[in-house]
Structure 1
Amino acid sequence: MKILIIEDEIQLSDAIEQSLKKQLYVTESASNFKEALHKVISYDYDCILLDIMLPDGNGIELLKQLKDIKKDDSVIIISAKDSLDDKVLGLELGADDYLTKPFHLSELHARIKSVLRRRNQNGSNSIVLDNLELFPDDYKVTIDGKEIEVNNKEFALLHYLVINQNRLLTKVAIAEKIWGDYMDEVDSYDFVYSQIKNLRKKLKQNNAQPEIKSVYGMGYKLVNSN
């Protein structure tokens, strides 16, 4: 899961980023409106943490632009402004939640998990695809009810494939989603192939019905083998 933190208070931004990394999220950050706008236009995120008060612009305006370009990234507004009007406007513009500063990081984690459940899992604690079941809160995978061993990156990769089942995902998109936005600057994506190969082997060994198909020269997609 990839999260963008838009926050100009560097100490708070760093604290949030470190806590999310401990929860195994991939994180990116932006400290001003211009940088944040570039990131939301250029990349996709599972969740955006959006401060309203930015040094060179307003988070509400950024939210408007996000929706104008039809991006569906989930958004949680985090702001020191505990104004009912701001909350209502933010939610009407498409924000998924609103958290007032100061807040406990544990509450932020809970809000993020809740938003991601609604976005990817229809409110459920797991995602089921044929005989494959993923539990994102626990980074657990089962096949026919039996847990299989996967590392953190393998889980993130499988989760991304499952929520985009039957859709072609390019190596660039996979790299950016699982390893972070700076991956668009690397010279080779051989490491994506290596991760796909390992994950495909584990699925096959445990008789998973979904399988990862290669689309020559383009990328991969998860399909039902039956």
Structure 2
Amino acid sequence: MKILVIEDEIQLLKNIKESLEKENFLVETAMGFETAMEKAMVYAYDCILLDIMLPNGSGLDILDGLKKEGKQENVIIISAKDSLDDKLKGLDLGADDYLTKPFHLAELNARIKAVLRRKDLDGSRFMELGNTKLNIENRQFLVDGTPIPLNRKEFDILNYFMLNKSRLVTKNALAEHVWGDNSDQADNFDFVYYQIKNLRKRLLESKSGLEIDSVYGVGYKLIVK
């Protein structure tokens, strides 16, 4: 898997590169707009990590260029700019995810693997684990072919867990993915605990074969029993 990291903060760029190489990704880097644009247009990548604020240009222009060229790279915006307008514009231009600085490298790794898994679905409407199936289009959860009712948040949480099966999902990553940017304004994660508690109950009662394990002080893992 080949990743292009476009970031002008040299220490952050170095840290991201080292972290991804430990995960056995092939990593290329670019710090300025011109170099980044050239690499993004000429070469193919499985994922591009894209900072919006670059010397001599905007990462949004690179996104626009990818869209006009019909390129299919997964793009995750990593930026200190947290305005809703920038986020919406980036997503509208084709970005797959948006991560606001500062962030944990483990969270970034989880986001990358999640977007790569979504690509691996290749347009499929279904995700399957063990005796369970998630219908993405109809937002339906089935165990042994039987529909199991989930509320909207429970479905979104389970979807995120299934995209990151057997991997650590931090509380911060889960909250931001399911509840959006406003999650960082919360005093605690009680709203996450409540939905996880309900989802665990539904998984157990339906005999789904899926289990959400807690990793003390950090987050959760979805396990297939």
Q: TM-score, normalised by structure 1?
A: 0.54
| Residues 178-189 of structure 1 aligned to structure 2 (within 5 Å) | none
Secondary structure of the 1:28 match is strand
Partner of 1:32: 32
Output the CA distance in 2 between the equivalents of 1:13 and 1:125: 36
Partner of 2:77: 77
Cα deviations across residues 17-76 of structure 1 (Å, max 9, x unaligned)?
000000000000000110011101111000000000001100001100111111110000
Count residues with an aligned counterpart.
Answer: 129
Unaligned runs of 5+ in 1: 127-135, 139-226
Q: What letter corresponds to residue 103 of structure 1 in structure 2?
A: F
| Residues 49-88 of structure 1 aligned to structure 2 (within 5 Å) | 49-88=49-88
| Residues 6-155 of structure 1 aligned to structure 2 (within 5 Å) | 6-122=6-122
Q: What letter corresponds to residue 85 of structure 2 in structure 1?
A: D
| Residues 147-166 of structure 1 aligned to structure 2 (within 5 Å) | none
Unaligned runs of 5+ in 2: 130-163, 167-225
Output the CA distance in 1 between the equivalents of 2:8 and 2:20: 17
Q: CA deviation at 1:125?
A: 8.4
Output the CA distance in 2 between the equivalents of 1:137 and 1:55: 38
Cα deviations across residues 173-215 of structure 1 (Å, max 9, x unaligned)?
xxxxxxxxxxxxxxxxxxxxxxxxxxxxxxxxxxxxxxxxxxx
CA contact (8 A) 1:52 1:60 kept: yes
Q: 1:39 to 1:105 in 2, by over 3 A?
A: same
Give the root-mean-square deviation of aligned CA atoms.
2.0
CA contact (8 A) 1:117 1:124 kept: no
Cα deviations across residues 65-114 of structure 1 (Å, max 9, x unaligned)?
11111111000000000100101110011100000000000100010010
Q: CA deviation at 1:137?
A: 8.5
Q: What letter corresponds to residue 37 of structure 1 in structure 2?
A: M
Partner of 2:137: none
Q: What letter corresponds to residue 38 of structure 1 in structure 2?
A: E
Q: 1:125 to 1:113 in 2, by over 3 A?
A: farther
Secondary structure of the 2:112 match is helix
Q: What letter corresponds to residue 105 of structure 1 in structure 2?
A: L
Q: What letter corresponds to residue 56 of structure 1 in structure 2?
A: N
Q: What letter corresponds to residue 17 of structure 2 in structure 1?
A: E
Q: 1:125 to 1:106 in 2, by over 3 A?
A: farther
Secondary structure of the 1:8 match is coil
Cα deviations across residues 132-177 of structure 1 (Å, max 9, x unaligned)?
xxxx989xxxxxxxxxxxxxxxxxxxxxxxxxxxxxxxxxxxxxxx
Superposed structure 1 runs of 4+ greater than 6 Å apart? none
Q: 1:39 to 1:125 in 2, by over 3 A?
A: farther
CA contact (8 A) 1:78 1:100 kept: yes
Q: What letter corresponds to residue 8 of structure 1 in structure 2?
A: D
Secondary structure of the 2:103 match is coil
CA contact (8 A) 1:113 1:137 kept: no
Output the CA distance in 1 between the equivalents of 2:165 and 2:57: 34
Q: 1:11 to 1:119 in 2, by over 3 A?
A: same
